[in-house]
Amino acid sequence: MSPKNTRETGHPGAQVQRQWKKGNEGEASRLFQHIIYSHYRLHARSFPWRDHITPYRVLVSEFMLQQTQTARVVEKFEPFIAAFPDFQSLADASLHDVLRMWQGLGYNRRARALKEAAEAVVSHHDGALPSDGRVLRGLPGIGPYTAAAICAFAVNKPVVMIETNIRTVFIHFFFPDEGKVTDAAIRPIVERTMDAAHPREWYYALMDYGVTLKQHHHNPGRRSAHHRRQSPFQGSDRQLRGMILKILVQHSSMEKAELVKALGASPSRFHRIISALEREGLVKQEGDVVRVA
């Protein structure tokens, strides 16, 4: 069942809204799940982290998917897994090698945090990824959403979670005429409409429906109070950071003056960014030379 305008008379989405407003949450949830699953049966997306599920593969995919489009992650996921097939191999790897396999995904701090999370799993959890959300949030790079996603996708635990596509679906169905919708308003509806028996499949279905919604509607997610336009990448510090790490991964180390020349950046801007990368544990400065930490 393809997404349509929920205001259309007789459309099942409008029926969900009417039943919900009347307080018939059971009936509204049944209709809502029917719409989402009907679409999923016809349009489910296939990804390597969905097709072969292990806690490690889920962890890697969730780190990669943070602020990165799925198409790019698909290209990088299997090569990364081939290079580091488990927690131990990732924990033992050098940051240089991890960054080399991460190239093209951006936000390189995630690569360092992923390696540190693997180190923590090996050293503090006997090599087994915890399934308790509170424990997961104690690992490097794991916030509330990533912890919930690991619980849902790795161990099929019925937890409440909201990300951009899920948010889009709930705004479309339950807040059709509202702007600045908060996650706090969405969260109880996510909980009350959940398919608690099949949370992994349910969240996959919601995400896939949200993607289709964005393709057929003026993105409902823009009516979220949390919607932010991403700043331009071209010419940004983010682009320069990525260029620095790409060069250092290729050459292991380089003199600062040579690196400034290769980048075409002003020395003051270069030194500011290098200092930030050093504070984040991504590079080290040794006199006039910079290298991957």
Q: Is 62 a catalytic site residue? A: yes
Length of the chain measured in residues: 293
Contact predicate 160/187, CB 8 Å? yes
Tokens of 72: 């790019």
**Angle in degrees, 0-180, between the axes of helices 199-216 and 25-43, rounded to the nearest 10:** 80
Distance CA(131)–CA(135), nearest Å, equals 8
**Cβ pair 292, 248 in contact under 8 A:** yes
3-class DSSP assignment, residue 254: strand
Instruction: Record the tokens describing residue 83, joined without a space.
Output: 């290079």
Report the candidate in 161, 119, 167, 168 with the shortest Cα–Cα distance to residue 140: 119
Q: Which tokens hold the place of 47?
A: 């990804």
- Number of H helices and E strands in the chain, helices first, is 16, 3
Query: Which of the following is catalytic: 8, 27, 62, 75?
Result: 62
d(CA 223, CA 181): 6
Contacts 24+ apart (CB under 8 A), 135-143: 140/113, 140/116, 141/63, 141/109, 141/110, 141/113, 141/114, 141/116, 141/117, 142/117
Please identify every residue annotated as catalytic: 62
